[in-house]
Structure 1
Amino acid sequence: MPLLLRILCLCLSGMLLRPAFASDSESPKINSYKIDITAPGDVSDLLKSYLDIYKWRSQKNLAVDELQAAVERTPQDVTSLLSTEGYFKPEVNARIAQEGDSYHVFVTVNPGPQVHVRKVDLRLTGAVNEDPVYRDALLARLKRKPPLAEGAVFTQSSWDLYKRTTLNVLLSRRYAGARITESEALVSPDDAVVDLTLVLDSGPYYHYGDVNIKGMQRYPEKIVRDQIHLAPGAEYRRFELLNLQTSLQEMPQIGTAVVDAQLDNQPPYNAPIEIAVQEAPLQKLGLSAGYSTNTRYRGQLDYRYNNVADMGWVSTTKAVYEGLEQSFNTELAFPKQPDGYYHKIYFTGEHSIVQNLDTTTYKGGVSRTVNDRNIDRTLTLEYLSERRDAGDGNIDRPHSLSLNYQWIRRDLDNQRDPHKGTIWQVEGGGASGALLSTQTFIRLYSKGALYWPVGEEGIFIGRLEGGENFSRNPAEVPTDWLFRAGGSGSVRGYDYQSLGVKADDGTINPGRVLATSSIEYQHPVYKAWRGAVFADYGDAADTWQTWQGHTGVGVGARWISPVGSIGADVAYGVTDARWRFHFAMGLAF
């Protein structure tokens, strides 16, 4: 009997027998009983999860006859369970004893030797054999790191994984109709070995057919068709369909998208592609409110229109009011081109009063972005005009026409709640004083974060940030291209952007150099709540010679909400000898 069928029969037997015994009114009833099991740790854990004698312990008014029947079935049940883990000759003893008014069940298990794989016979039939070079490369790939190799311990889960993995490799390219035609695990319990046989029929070699798009009514079909790079007649590749589906679902005009291949059963064995989409609403209005210790209370209004000029262009307008900063932004984004690039034009107005520095900024520009798996690359040409008032009677009016390149790589196990992985951002750009700019400068900037699991539940987070603006006179460089530090997401224990170039009147001006770092450890406390301890160090200054690191240490709490991490910290700024409270939402980066 196949191993999975044994487990199914085991589960069904428990379900069917229990009601029959429960209806026996003559059998004494009990509300609890003890169980002692003697077995190796991994075996004991498996049995505790599946045996009826464990599942029924909390059942009230359980008939003694029912418990007795479960105990009598236990050796058979244990044998069936252990066979899934490669134990085919276990010795099992189970008995029940009455101790006064209660009962005690004793189970002793000697699992015996685990079965090992002696031979794996993998064969391919069908059209794949018409191309020996591709077939041999495929077999070499399958044998390179198999889930179940000769000499390995045999388990039902590893055998299932081997079959599934092998079939998926064949299905992923060319042979979309591949199937398993023979699967056998021949066990020799006396020798503790198993011989495996797996035969797969590749089926015919499939090529892409025509592409049919369904569901486009509100938006032009062209915005979807421009994302399709499946040339009719090219070989079928499943990952290309998955990538296309992901790309479509990221479009603001698309709510959901399903990309599927319809396989022809007759030569020339084409695979027509069917794309079914559900369109997103034409307009979207968003209102939000929040609070941050960096910029105080926050209110935001967003409006998006997804089909400007009936071309699928997306217009977005956003107004943000915060206690220390206010901004208005409008942009026009164009659909992704066949070469994978996005383009947009934008205009932004901003006003802020931070550390006694009153700044008003207007900027507009164009950007070009491409996403390649987990890497984003953006090139931006921007004109910026700024009014900077320190309140001392001197008003700076820097402006710049800058070209900036940004590269971001995200490699995280989970975007909302990462436990392992990295984020890294690198920027480089500049402006020329001879071209609509008050000062020639070159700006380099980078920051990164590392997430690393500690033990079974803890998380270590490390962060580095650094930058430098190469210019002669920072007063003629807009604030966006200079640096300040301090606050949540920077150096905690200090006020928001309070680390920089300090003027005589106490104003904190932006500097030309920046370096900050942070280490943090988080540990679960209760459900979605974590505790945190951290230490931050860094500063922003006019030059590296005047850069002085400032240390902040503290503790905090993290709530992993459905929309991301929300954190509250109490930090001590060593330089100022003051405690400060910080509140933030999102990743530490």
Structure 2
Amino acid sequence: MIREPYPAGPRRTTAAGAAGAVLSLLLAWPAAGQEDPPALPYTAEVAPLDDSGLRATAEAVAQTIRLRERAPTDAFGLIGRVRADLPRLQDALRAEGFWGGHVTATIAGLPPDDPSLPGRLQRATEPVPVVLTLVPGPRYRIGRISVAAEPAAAAAPVRAAAAEAGLAEGDPARAEAVLAAETAIRDALRRAGHPLATVAGREIWVDHDRRSMDVAWRFAPGPRATFATPEVTGQVRTSSGLLQRTAARQLDGRDYSPAALERARRALVALGVFESVRAEPAAALTPDNRLPVTFVVAERPLRAIGGTVSYETNYGAGISAFWEHRNLFGGAERLRLDAEAARLTESSLGNATYRAFATLTLPEIWRRDARLTARVGAVREMLEAYDRDAIVTSALAERRLSERLAVQAGPLYETGRIGRYGVMEDFSLLGFVTGLRWDDTTSLLDPTSGRRGAVTATPFWSIQDGRTFTRLLATGSTYLDVTGDARGVLALRAALGATVGATRDEITLDKRFYSGGGGSVRGYTFQSIGPRDAGNRPLGGASLMEFAVEWRQRISGPWGAVAFVDAGSVGEESYPGSGDLRVGVGLGLRYLTAIGPIRVDVGVPLSTERGDPSYALYVGIGQAF
């Protein structure tokens, strides 16, 4: 039996030895230096060709292949290049678990150390063939695994962390798997509250008789720690007190964990003031085992402008623009002015919809962990279902219960005139919004996995006639990365709405439920699904039910395509599903950009009524949901 470490030398190696050396080779191959002018064309190949994946690895490692076209060389340079590749390829074999394999090479049919080779190459008139031959032999397996603590008194947390190594006896003896297991154990120790956990030693033995590799680790977990009061540096215009309070809410006095550190970093990012936030934990604990942390921030420009353009065949174009100040008074207060014009067509500019709003967002209320969003605006809507001129105000407080879950509540007030067929009536509504929101998706505009959900309940009181009713709405969507590489995503959406305390005709026109259009059931005219009056105009309903299924497929580069089925119903009764179900199907194209996908969808209604189009085209930014 032969037991030897790798590389050759002492029988025991450290963390810089076997696995580390060969994996480092794969991750950081030497860059090419300057070569002599082109003098010797050659071809290069790896033999034998098989399905083990070694051919691709060898071609990536071998500079003889990588530099053939972009760094031509002469006879002596080629010989040196091939000779240098032999130990490099040997290490590549060992990194993949082929510890008993070997590598040979020929240049013009001769080994690279043949003394006659330079002269033969200098006389060559045709490209010289170079063949790199890999003989991997059997793949070795992981043998005995040992994990010890340093000092021995710290055995309990090390033993618990070792259970998350992900490496087992009998696994392929790949260097990358060994290093991944080492990282997993160290990270598990840090998640368990040991911020200074390190690898105190690694020893690897290769047994050629057993064709196995034994691994022994020593881990020094260090003491458990809590977070000290964090510090923030780098701010120029933003209140230091606000920043320290924001970070401290996530960290101060809590047990150390990388997840808590990341939550604090994200809380600072969420203020919207910084273009970058970097967490820098200290290298040592305080005498009372607290970990100092410093967040280094870089502020964004104070002001921003932007806008969007959309188009729908049924009602024409829409355009919106905004101006934003991101740090109005130095406390990360955000002021945003929005203006929108929608339903713009050549024949109905006077009947378009216009909206203008000013929104002020405060990141905390009375130094408490709650965000306040105050909004005031004016709307003029000329829709098929109703016409409305109104002033709208609201003040909603939102508090995060966790990184994904938030609760919100606050009053709203609307006043103006609303009606149909030119008959307008005064209205004033006072409401109070309460709701829960969940979001663990990967992206706001183009999610590939995760779920979103929101539930709101809004009681309303009509100041004119004293009527009351409560509007309930639940929406949710989920995104499944079916292919595992975000190229094929199944997206599902559902919405359920109900109004209690009043009949459909007693509900203010704009607070009824409507369905149809680009944001709900594609293929149908905006608000067209549901009951209609004698003039074929939507009446709205007291309940809503919508479903959507969409397959999102990346095609090539930034291009993608979707296929979708949307369905919805609006009922006169207060329970969802009381109306007739309408279904639309369609296809779409996506072009991915840094700000989200540009969307073009064509929807076709399957159950049309009088006045419904045969298809509808939608253009916008971001996925449909």
**Fold agreement, TM-score > 0.5:** yes
Asked if 2 retains the 8 angstrom alpha-carbon contact of 1:398 and 1:475, the reply is no
CA offset at residue 84 of structure 1? 0.6
Which of 297, 301, 318 is equivalent to 2:318? 297
What is the alpha-carbon distance in structure 1 between the residues aligned to residue 158 and residue 25 of structure 2? 36
Q: For the structure 1 residues 176 and 450, does the alpha-carbon distance in structure 2 shift closer, same or farther, using more than 3 Å as the test?
A: closer
CA offset at residue 552 of structure 1? 1.9
Match of 2:139 in 1: 114
- Amino acid in structure 1 at the alignment position of 2:372: H
Matches within 5 A, 1:431-580: 431=460, 438-455=466-483, 457-543=487-573, 547-574=579-606, 575=608, 576=612, 578-580=614-616
Match of 2:194 in 1: 175
What is the alpha-carbon distance in structure 1 between the residues aligned to residue 24 and residue 254 of structure 2? 44
RMSD: 3.5
CA offset at residue 182 of structure 1? 0.9
- Amino acid in structure 2 at the alignment position of 1:494: Y
1:241 counterpart SS class: helix
Which of 78, 83, 91 is equivalent to 2:89? 78
Identify the range of structure 1 (411-420 vs 442-451) with the bigger mean alpha-carbon deviation. 411-420
What is the alpha-carbon distance in structure 2 between the residues aligned to residue 472 and residue 328 of structure 1? 31
- Amino acid in structure 2 at the alignment position of 1:578: S
CA offset at residue 100 of structure 1? 9.9
Match of 2:21 in 1: 5
CA offset at residue 89 of structure 1? 0.8
Say which structure is richer in strand.
1
Q: For the structure 1 residues 59 and 364, does the alpha-carbon distance in structure 2 shift closer, same or farther, using more than 3 Å as the test?
A: closer
2:615 counterpart SS class: strand
What is the alpha-carbon distance in structure 2 between the residues aligned to residue 12 and residue 212 of structure 1? 39
CA offset at residue 578 of structure 1? 0.7
Identify the range of structure 1 (184-193 vs 54-63) with the bigger mean alpha-carbon deviation. 54-63
Question: What's the % identity of the aligned pairs?
Answer: 17
Match of 1:390 in 2: 420
CA offset at residue 249 of structure 1? 1.9
CA offset at residue 158 of structure 1? 1.5
Which of 164, 169, 194 is equivalent to 2:183? 164
User: Structure 1, residues 293-322: CA drift from partner, whole Å, max 9, x if none?
Assistant: 2672313232436344x7664444333333
Asked if 1 retains the 8 angstrom alpha-carbon contact of 2:524 and 2:613, the reply is no
Q: For the structure 1 residues 479 and 186, does the alpha-carbon distance in structure 2 shift closer, same or farther, using more than 3 Å as the test?
A: farther
Q: For the structure 1 residues 90 and 219, does the alpha-carbon distance in structure 2 shift closer, same or farther, using more than 3 Å as the test?
A: closer
- Give unmatched runs, 5+ long, in structure 1: none
Identify the range of structure 1 (374-383 vs 95-104) with the bigger mean alpha-carbon deviation. 95-104
Match of 1:332 in 2: 360
Q: For the structure 1 residues 515 and 9, does the alpha-carbon distance in structure 2 shift closer, same or farther, using more than 3 Å as the test?
A: closer
CA offset at residue 497 of structure 1? 2.3
Matches within 5 A, 1:235-384: 235-264=255-284, 267-280=287-300, 283-293=302-312, 296-304=317-325, 306-308=327-329, 313-322=333-342, 323=344, 324-336=352-364, 340-355=369-384, 357-371=386-400, 372-384=402-414
What is the alpha-carbon distance in structure 1 between the residues aligned to residue 308 and residue 448 of structure 2? 28
What is the alpha-carbon distance in structure 2 between the residues aligned to residue 516 and residue 545 of structure 1? 9
Q: For the structure 1 residues 527 and 122, does the alpha-carbon distance in structure 2 shift closer, same or farther, using more than 3 Å as the test?
A: same
User: Structure 1, residues 144-201: CA drift from partner, whole Å, max 9, x if none?
Assistant: 3323233322211121122222222333454333322211222213212222121122
Asked if 1 retains the 8 angstrom alpha-carbon contact of 2:37 and 2:73, the reply is no
Q: For the structure 1 residues 529 and 475, does the alpha-carbon distance in structure 2 shift closer, same or farther, using more than 3 Å as the test?
A: same
What is the alpha-carbon distance in structure 2 between the residues aligned to residue 280 and residue 14 of structure 1? 37
What is the alpha-carbon distance in structure 1 between the residues aligned to residue 169 and residue 47 of structure 2? 37
What is the alpha-carbon distance in structure 2 between the residues aligned to residue 5 and residue 225 of structure 1? 43
Q: Is 1:408 paired with 2:432?
A: no
- Amino acid in structure 2 at the alignment position of 1:423: R
Match of 2:12 in 1: none
TM-score under structure 1 length normalisation: 0.85
What is the alpha-carbon distance in structure 2 between the residues aligned to residue 12 and residue 289 of structure 1? 46
1:584 counterpart SS class: strand
What is the alpha-carbon distance in structure 1 between the residues aligned to residue 327 and residue 417 of structure 2? 34
Asked if 2 retains the 8 angstrom alpha-carbon contact of 1:431 and 1:437, the reply is no
CA offset at residue 206 of structure 1? 4.1
TM-score under structure 2 length normalisation: 0.81
What is the alpha-carbon distance in structure 1 between the residues aligned to residue 46 and residue 280 of structure 2? 52
What is the alpha-carbon distance in structure 2 between the residues aligned to residue 401 and residue 24 of structure 1? 82
